[in-house]
Amino acid sequence: MQLTAPLDMHLHLRDGDMLQNIAKASAQTFSGAIIMPNLVPPVSTKEEVIAYKERILAAIGDEKFTPYMTLFFKPSYDKAFLESLRDEITAIKLYPAGITTNSEGGVSGFDVEELRPTLEAMSELNIPLCVHGETNGFVMDREAEFVSIYERLANAFPKLKIIMEHITTKESVKALDKHENLYATITIHHLLLTLDDVAGGMLQPHLFCKPIAKRPEDREALLKVALEAHPKVMFGSDSAPHPKHAKENCGCAAGVFTAPIALQLLTELFEKHHALNNIQAFVSGNAQKIYGITPRTKTIILEKKPFTVPAIYNDVVPMYANETIAYSIKDIQHG
């Protein structure tokens, strides 16, 4: 089995020691990734975008990998500022204030007129808007409640590409076909897990993420569009590393670390559902069309050979630590 130019359209690389420790886990097997900007402080100026990209490139060394940079959304951005950044960024990421890790500087309220100057400029410049779509309501309902906000934005800015990030609900899946300018990323962990896996027995802190895994019927809706490689969905891992001590405590940090095993798990899943013919579109082809990007040439050769997931990667515990999965990476070819 081989995958050509796989792309991760939603990736957290963090900064500092964590960046040094985990960046290669993605850079080895992916051709590129959309890099999230929710650092402390968030990436919100041209200088910060360029400097962060340089730190990423330094951390990955000789790996052939393109970091597609994003800017942390602020309603105050004007067209001139965004024009100056057009060659440095691939998208802008909007977070509701305080809803997830390092999102305190995000948007409070979603008044269309307040957001209009930035979103109209983005529409004119063809800069996609990536959104963490959750309200601050009951945790299981937050994403479904946000769908009305997606629809309001889609109607108000019909030329703006809006990416519903890491969707987890059947309501988000339905919205894809209602609005021409709505797209979505889907993670491997939301294709595999429900809330029962996270908290049905003993709490599994390394499976806890935001948005939280949902009900079986939500997972089935995600599986349907992913396995058929619906043209408006693409793979985005939302691989979100935290040090072991930050996950294994009473204030468990939200995030699942899947970067080193994402392609193996996807191949196993698509094979199980007799959908291997569609995996290339899900992990690369759709994203190239949606974002208009041409990734580096890289071919990942996978083989059906059991692989035991390491207990830890540089102080980060991965999903399925110490468990055996069906596929291994056999070779990585460039050029």
For residue 305, is it within any domain? no
Mean pLDDT, range 133-143, rounded to an integer? 94
Mean pLDDT, range 187-206, rounded to an integer? 96
> Rounded CA gap, 46 and 224, in Å?
39
CATH of the domain at 167: 3.20.20.140
pLDDT digits (tens, 9 = 90+) for 222-262: 999 999 999 999 999 999 999 999 999 999 999 999 999 99
Query: How many structural domains does the chain have?
Result: 1
Residue 285's pLDDT is 98
Confidence of residue 330 (pLDDT cuts 50, 70, 90): very high
pLDDT at 102 over 80: no
**pTM for this one?**
0.96
pLDDT digits (tens, 9 = 90+) for 28-47: 999 999 999 999 999 999 99
Cβ–Cβ < 8 Å for 108, 137: no
For residue 149, is it within any domain? yes
Residue 105's pLDDT is 76
For residue 83, is it within any domain? yes
> Rounded CA gap, 98 and 95, in Å?
8
78 among known catalytic residues = no
297 CB neighbour count, 10 Å cutoff: 12
For residue 304, is it within any domain? no
Closest CA to 189 of 211, 164, 221: 211
For residue 267, is it within any domain? yes
> Rounded CA gap, 195 and 186, in Å?
16
Mean pLDDT, range 265-287, rounded to an integer? 98
Tell me the β-bridge partners of 331: 301
pLDDT digits (tens, 9 = 90+) for 304-329: 999 999 999 999 999 999 999 999 99
> Rounded CA gap, 280 and 293, in Å?
15
For residue 15, is it within any domain? yes
Domain range enclosing 23: 7-295
For residue 211, is it within any domain? yes
For residue 132, is it within any domain? yes
- Kindly name the residue from 111, 196, 238, 331 that is annotated as catalytic: 238
Mean pLDDT, range 135-143, rounded to an integer? 94
Closest CA to 86 of 74, 75, 95, 77: 77
End-to-end CA distance of the chain: 18
Give the percent of the chain with pLDDT over 90: 93
